[in-house]
Amino acid sequence: MNAAQRLLAAATLAWLAAPAPAQPSGEDLYRTYCAQCHGLQGNGKGINVRDMSVQPRDHTDSKYMAGRTDDELRTAVVEGGQALSKSVLMPPWGSVLEPQEVDALVAYMRELCDCQHGRP
Ligand code: HEC
């Protein structure tokens, strides 16, 4: 296994081990699927980062996050980093998450950065 595959395996294991509440909030989803890379605080310092050649995005960075539209964030989550010419270390979640779960995650990232597109 290469590093990317190991990370994906770790992400999958975290997913399998996590309980699945009926209607998870954006924060619940983030903790389950994203925190191992992006960190529990969303600051890009998850447990995986030591081994990662490209560091996960800091979702609390309001300056950067204000430069992204909600659609861009949605595309990153659904199709992965590659869809935006970013790192394949950001996995695609489209086969795992329902559209409303992706929306909840986008809303939660807006809470983390305390920003909107164009308004840091
Ligand atoms: C296996 C590690 C990993 C996991 C798990 C992960 N990400 Fe990422 N993510 C990354 C990395 C690495 C980048 C940076 C890619 C780059 O800048 O090239 C990134 C970037 C992003 C970006 C920024 C794209 C941009 O416009 O710069 C968003 C949004 C994002 N992740 C959301 C999420 C969400 C939401 C989840 C959970 C559903 C998640 N990520 C799970 C590794 C991960």
- Taking only the tens place, the pLDDT of each residue in 68-102 is 999 999 999 999 999 999 999 999 999 999 999 99
pLDDT tens digits, one per residue of 14-70: 777 776 657 899 999 999 999 999 999 999 999 999 999 999 999 999 999 999 999
**Ligand 1 lining (C-beta closer than 6 Å):** 7, 11, 33-34, 36-38, 48, 52, 54, 56-57, 68, 72-73, 76-77, 81, 84, 86-87, 89-91, 93, 105
Q: Give the residue, by CA position, lying nearest to ligand 1 atom 6.
A: 34
Spatial neighbors of 56 by CB under 8 A, at least 6 apart, are 37, 38, 39, 44, 46, 48, 49, 89, 90
Can you say how many angstroms the Cα of residue 16 is from the centroid of all Cα atoms in its chain? 17
Q: Which pLDDT band, with edges at 50, 70 and 90, does 3 fall under?
A: confident
Handedness of CA 77, 83, 84, 88 (dihedral sign): positive
Can you say how many angstroms the Cα of residue 19 is from the centroid of all Cα atoms in its chain? 18
